[in-house]
Amino acid sequence: MHNILLTLLLYTLLISCRENGNGSKNSVAVESKNDTLVSFSIIKKDSVHIVNYHLERKIMNGKLFAFHYTSKEDEFILVCDTSRNSYSGIYEKNDTAIFDLEQTKYYTINGNDFKVLKLIGDKNVTDAAFSVFLSIDFGLLLSKSNTWSSAKVLCVDKGNSRSDQLSALLYRMQTDEDFFPNPIPNINKFTPPKFE
């Protein structure tokens, strides 16, 4: 219950940070605000399509990060409070998810360190658990079902000055077997049948 209330409070905080009709901001201090366009490959079973999102990235108090994604198809918000290790998402129809931080990894690319968080939503729910890989620098890198063949993967925009770093970060993350395990089960885990 505490986590749900925290999520609703953070959502209210995000809404209060928007500009009102006369162009002035409300009283909540937003240290940094960044708007950009990003694309994701949306993968469902054996099909894929690209969806373009408007990303509004906000940093509040240096420790609260909000990533607000909007497209013609859907809208979602990811909120990270690094001071409290609190992570949540708000999806369509105000569906909320509280994430468990499963793992944190640092990848060094061209002398720059990038922190990637592996978050798990609906962790103990059969057929509903999903993983979110999030970078404070780039936002959502990838989200995937832990059960089904569906995912949302950030596309590298070649016009972006950091496209090489993003491409390398996605590659390093997806090939790190400790962080991003192969979904194909290890054949050695199964007991061979016994014939009499």
3 phi/psi in degrees, rounded to 5: -65, -35
Residue 16 has a pLDDT of 41
- For residue range 92-136, what is the model confidence (pLDDT) as tens digits? 877 888 899 999 999 999 999 999 999 988 887 777 788 899 998
Residue 22 has a pLDDT of 39
Q: String of b and e for 35-55 (b: at least 16 CB within 10 Å)?
A: eeebebebbeeeeeeebebeb
Residue 26: pLDDT band (50, 70, 90) is: very low
Residue 23 has a pLDDT of 41
- Say how far apart CA 174 and CA 131 lie, in whole Å: 13
- For residue range 139-190, what is the model confidence (pLDDT) as tens digits? 999 998 887 888 899 999 877 778 899 999 999 999 998 888 766 555 565 6
Residue 92 has a pLDDT of 80
Q: Give the sign of the dihedral formed by CA 142, CA 40, CA 87, CA 4.
A: negative
β-strands 130-135, 64-70 pairing = unpaired
Taking the model in full, what pTM does it have?
A: 0.75
